[in-house]
């Protein structure tokens, strides 16, 4: 079996929180292991403490270890008789400091500086001489002798509905092409495919799909693997109906370099608790693409469930460019249709600061607070929401639109199943900064806005 680290764990290195390291356990496949920059067997000569700057947290030094190995057999990668491999301190950072004198099979990767590093989830294992391990080493040796690579994966279809089960897509053509080589194959009944014997190189992999379907293109590097010398790459495609709403947001004169949150809100939802089915940030040119979406009727809005900031003074705006949901146009999108919209924003808001302090049910200042903001100029519509990290005395700053009155509903997670809730605070319309105080007065499964307002009457 081969362990691989969850992507999320990589970011534990850049956090002050004590998360545990979690690994995915995958069936051993020799070609997957050869995607490492170095695979070797060797003995640990010494393990020395060091500090290093992690790629995700520039400017900060982290504790770790440098392990010097005597290389017994280099299965993959150009190695000398000795090699230094770096690792974290252990625990949440996935580090795996190894004891001197022990013999190991090591899988290591190069960082941006070209130094080798390894971790708890890299697949390393002590050399035991077992039959299973000897067979594994034989497979690695055989794979490493190949002058080619392979790409494998699967294609599945998701109907796009909540709770739906994906289905394998059979007989779909998948093509991989590099600068000098192109190969194609069809998926089997189980939706799986494999392109073997590919010359070393970087490939772009794509399925031949109808216009009615699409897959996520936000991370196209996932579909551009590099394979060489017996290595392989896994590329999976999850297809969904291409039903989408896309378009462009026009900003007021003088407003530039602003990325806005655009959302599609189903008309059928209760407006007082409405959440977007899909949200997306605009790109640098103001373009947005809300996909995947179930067919249906939607309100499309900009910054509807968001909040103001001093550097992004754009008020909540519904398509085609109105401030209330009542005046908004309903956008109907059919199955497989791509609807194009232009949302025009003609005004900006003047930011107004709300200085506040939050006290918990235990009487202590709170470290973090969630605030739902009902704009009383548009009662019953979707509230904005913000989570704010607070100072040691429970103080923080909220930005609202000057000239608007608000109901502010504050809450914080007390446990996995309950929240602390405060009574709503009303801010009258004005332009001057204001100070308020949130005091948590009860605990509930959720701090429902309607229930809190009803209790306050």
141 token code pair? 């040796």
SS (HEC) of 393-428:
CCEEEEEEECCCCEEEEEEEECCCCCEEEECCEEEC
Quick one: 232 and 98 in the same domain? no
Q: With 0.95 as the threshold, say if the pTM is over it.
A: no
Quick one: 284 and 340 in the same domain? yes
Helix, strand or coil, per DSSP, at residue 168 = strand
Give the domain-ending residue among 241, 267, 290.
241
d(CA 309, CA 434): 16
pLDDT at res. 245: 97
d(CA 374, CA 405): 9
Quick one: 378 and 283 in the same domain? no
d(CA 335, CA 307): 32
426 token code pair? 């009303």
CB-based contacts of 135, cutoff 8 Å, min separation 6 = none
Cβ–Cβ under 8 Å, residues 281 and 318: no
Q: Please report, to the nearest 10 degrees, the dihedral formed by the alpha carbons of residues 387, 389, 391, 395 taken in order.
A: 0
Quick one: 140 and 19 in the same domain? yes
Q: End-to-end alpha-carbon separation of the chain, Å?
A: 61
CATH code for position 168:
2.60.40.10
pLDDT at res. 157: 94
Helix H or strand E segment including 253: none
CATH code for position 103:
2.40.50.120
CATH code for position 417:
2.60.40.1120
pLDDT at res. 5: 42
Quick one: 295 and 413 in the same domain? no
Its domain, for residue 420, covers 351-456
Quick one: 140 and 7 in the same domain? yes
277 token code pair? 């089915």
Quick one: 357 and 285 in the same domain? no
CB-based contacts of 399, cutoff 8 Å, min separation 6 = 307, 308, 309, 310, 351, 352, 353, 354
Quick one: 426 and 437 in the same domain? yes
348 token code pair? 């900006």
Q: Which residue has the tokens 């947001």?
A: 249
As for how many domains the chain has, the answer is 4
Quick one: 220 and 169 in the same domain? yes
For 256, list phi and psi in degrees, rounded to 5.
Answer: -135, 165
Over its length of 457 residues, how does the chain's per-residue pLDDT go in tens digits? 444 443 333 333 333 333 456 777 777 889 998 888 999 999 999 999 998 766 655 566 788 999 999 999 999 998 999 999 999 887 667 889 999 999 999 999 998 888 999 998 899 999 999 999 999 999 999 999 888 999 999 999 987 655 567 899 999 999 999 999 999 999 999 999 999 999 999 999 999 999 999 999 888 889 999 998 899 999 999 999 999 999 999 988 877 767 888 999 999 765 545 566 899 999 989 999 999 999 999 999 998 866 677 667 788 899 999 988 889 999 999 998 999 999 999 888 888 999 999 999 999 999 999 998 888 887 777 677 888 999 999 999 999 889 889 999 999 988 878 999 998 899 999 999 999 999 999 999 888 776 656 555 5
pLDDT at res. 56: 55
d(CA 313, CA 336): 35
Give the domain-ending residue among 288, 310, 344.
344
pLDDT at res. 13: 32
pLDDT at res. 7: 34
Cβ–Cβ under 8 Å, residues 153 and 193: yes
pLDDT at res. 164: 61
Quick one: 55 and 128 in the same domain? yes
Quick one: 9 and 121 in the same domain? yes
Cβ–Cβ under 8 Å, residues 93 and 62: yes
DSSP code at position 316 = P
Determine how β-strand 148-157 pairs with β-strand 232-241. parallel
d(CA 375, CA 385): 11
Q: Which residue has the tokens 């979406």?
A: 293
Give the domain-ending residue among 144, 161, 194.
144
Quick one: 18 and 139 in the same domain? yes
Of 231, 229, 238, the residue nearest 207 (C-alpha): 238
């Amino acid at each position: 079996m081969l362990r691989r680290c969850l992507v999320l764990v990589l970011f534990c290195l850049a956090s002050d929180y004590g998360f545990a390291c979690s690994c995915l356990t995958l069936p051993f496949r020799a070609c997957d292991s050869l995607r490492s920059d170095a695979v070797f067997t060797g003995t640990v000569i010494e393990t020395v403490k060091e500090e290093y700057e992690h790629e995700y947290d520039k400017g900060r030094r982290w504790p770790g270890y440098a392990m010097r190995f005597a290389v017994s057999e280099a299965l993959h990668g150009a190695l000398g008789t000795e090699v230094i491999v770096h690792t974290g301190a252990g625990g949440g950072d996935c580090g795996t400091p190894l004891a001197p004198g022990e013999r190991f099979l090591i899988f290591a990767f190069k960082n941006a500086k070209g130094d080798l590093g390894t971790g708890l989830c890299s697949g390393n294992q002590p050399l035991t001489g077992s039959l299973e391990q000897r067979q594994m080493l034989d497979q690695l040796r055989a794979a490493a002798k190949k002058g080619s690579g392979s790409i494998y994966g699967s294609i599945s279809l998701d109907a796009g509905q909540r709770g739906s089960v994906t289905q394998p897509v059979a007989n779909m053509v998948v093509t991989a092409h590099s600068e000098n080589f192109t190969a194609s194959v069809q998926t089997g009944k189980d939706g799986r495919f494999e392109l073997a014997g590919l010359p070393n190189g970087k490939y772009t992999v794509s399925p031949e799909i109808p216009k009615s379907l699409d897959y996520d293109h936000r991370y196209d590097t996932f579909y551009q693997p590099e394979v060489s010398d017996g290595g392989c790459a896994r590329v999976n495609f999850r297809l969904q109906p291409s039903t989408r709403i896309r378009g462009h947001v026009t900003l007021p004169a003088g407003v530039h370099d602003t990325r806005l949150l655009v959302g599609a809100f189903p008309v059928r939802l209760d407006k007082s608790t409405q959440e977007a089915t899909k949200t997306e940030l605009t790109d640098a040119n103001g373009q947005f693409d809300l996909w995947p979406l179930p067919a249906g009727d939607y309100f499309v809005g900009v910054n509807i469930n968001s909040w103001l900031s001093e550097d992004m003074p754009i008020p909540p705006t519904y398509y085609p460019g109105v401030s209330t949901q009542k005046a908004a146009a309903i956008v109907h999108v059919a199955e497989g249709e791509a609807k194009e919209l232009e949302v025009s924003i003609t005004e900006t808001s003047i930011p107004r600061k709300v200085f506040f302090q939050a006290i918990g049910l235990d009487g202590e200042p709170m470290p973090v607070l969630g605030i739902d903001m009902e704009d009383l100029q548009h009662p019953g519509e979707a509230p904005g929401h913000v989570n704010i990290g607070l100072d040691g005395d429970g103080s923080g700053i909220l930005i609202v639109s000057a000239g608007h009155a608000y109901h502010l509903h504050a809450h914080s997670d007390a446990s996995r199943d309950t929240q602390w809730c405060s009574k709503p605070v009303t801010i009258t319309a004005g332009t001057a900064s204001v100070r308020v105080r949130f005091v948590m007065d009860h605990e509930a499964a959720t701090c429902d806005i309607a229930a809190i307002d009803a209790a306050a009457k």
